[in-house]
Structure 1
């Protein structure tokens, strides 16, 4: 009888641990929603553009004009990609498909207030990337 009671207690304890684990995982997944990851990517990309951080620009973008990342980096370096971007406000994130969103934001670009600026993002290679060069395709 004591052995059966011990087994029941062990099973209940394992069930409680499993339930707590599932609750923790669901909270962690909610905290890492696509929307939050997309906002983080957009802000990182715009901050890289603001500071002229070419490595981060390449890291956070999928520039369709440059399938080769080394060519993308060389071109960005030669063109000295940098703009003054301040007062960034992400207004909406509109899902286009399960793996793409259109982000609408406002900011001051080189001191000029801009509103309703669209920037596409896509989930590729296990992360969200800003899509550049789309009009050339």
Structure 2
């Protein structure tokens, strides 16, 4: 009888420990989800007030992994935000949630988006800047690109920790009232984005060079695409404002040139520059005549 009581006591204690462990796990999960929801709410509040410092504190943008460039471009966008409402939240893996949101801004109609929320160095951050139309059409481009499809926590951590220091960069700087400048350096297949600017010309032109780090450069294959940029995303213009240049256009030789027509004015634009070849280092630069 005493033996049975002893066994019963042991089983009861074990059950209590399992129940306690389960409760602690549930409570920890609940606290984590509450932290994620809090960041989403704080980000929405900051975006509605156009509080750039707080937006940078609570978010990343896939277009500009460098924080300084991100902040500079948020200031340039200066866009009115109407909505960034979380309608569903799902844990994908450790340090990564997927938030389904309804987003609406001055330049974007109400759109349902799947937004990553990442824990990096103990801080939860909302990740915006997706290429909307290509996220919905995965055959459009390589799914390795950061702005397409939902990635892993490790991918995002590497992207926002190391992307700015890798040999891939792009920037656009005003040289005068009618000309902007961009430059880049690629060592692998990737897409990068220029700074945003306000388009003032319905027929903008780009002129520039792209050349290899040695060799003939016949393998060079780069797309240049004008895109509309909003606070939460970017989207292709209609008609599609993309041009592909292959081969080398030397800095000391003949430059490539492309003029588009029917591009909306008084619109916030950026250019996505996509390297489609993985052979060797390629560098380039050019002007946007706007």
TM-score by length of 1: 0.63
**More displaced 10-residue stretch of structure 1: 63-72 or 45-54:** 63-72
Q: From the superposition, tell whether residues 118 and 67 of structure 1 become closer, same or farther in structure 2 (CA, over 3 Å).
A: closer
- Alpha-carbon distance in 1 for matches of 2:80, 2:113: 17
Determine the structure 1 residue equivalent to 2:75: 77
**More displaced 10-residue stretch of structure 1: 39-48 or 73-82:** 73-82
Q: From the superposition, tell whether residues 116 and 80 of structure 1 become closer, same or farther in structure 2 (CA, over 3 Å).
A: closer
Going by fraction, where is helix more abundant, 1 or 2?
1
Structure 2: which 5+ residue stretches go unaligned?
1-23, 132-144, 147-290
| Cα pair 1:91 1:104 within 8 Å, conserved | yes
Determine the structure 1 residue equivalent to 2:123: 127
**More displaced 10-residue stretch of structure 1: 75-84 or 35-44:** 75-84
Determine the structure 1 residue equivalent to 2:33: 35
- Alpha-carbon distance in 1 for matches of 2:109, 2:69: 32
Write the deviation string for residues 55-81 of structure 1: whole angstroms up to 9, x where unpaired: 111110122322221111011101114
Structure with the bigger RCO (C-alpha within 8 Å, sep 6+) is 1
Q: Secondary structure at 2:53's aligned position in 1?
A: helix
Count of aligned positions: 109
**More displaced 10-residue stretch of structure 1: 127-136 or 93-102:** 127-136
TM-score by length of 2: 0.32
Report the RMSD for the aligned CA atoms in angstroms. Answer: 3.0
Structure 1: which 5+ residue stretches go unaligned?
1-25
Q: Secondary structure at 2:81's aligned position in 1?
A: coil
Determine the structure 2 residue equivalent to 1:98: 94
- Alpha-carbon distance in 2 for matches of 1:103, 1:57: 17
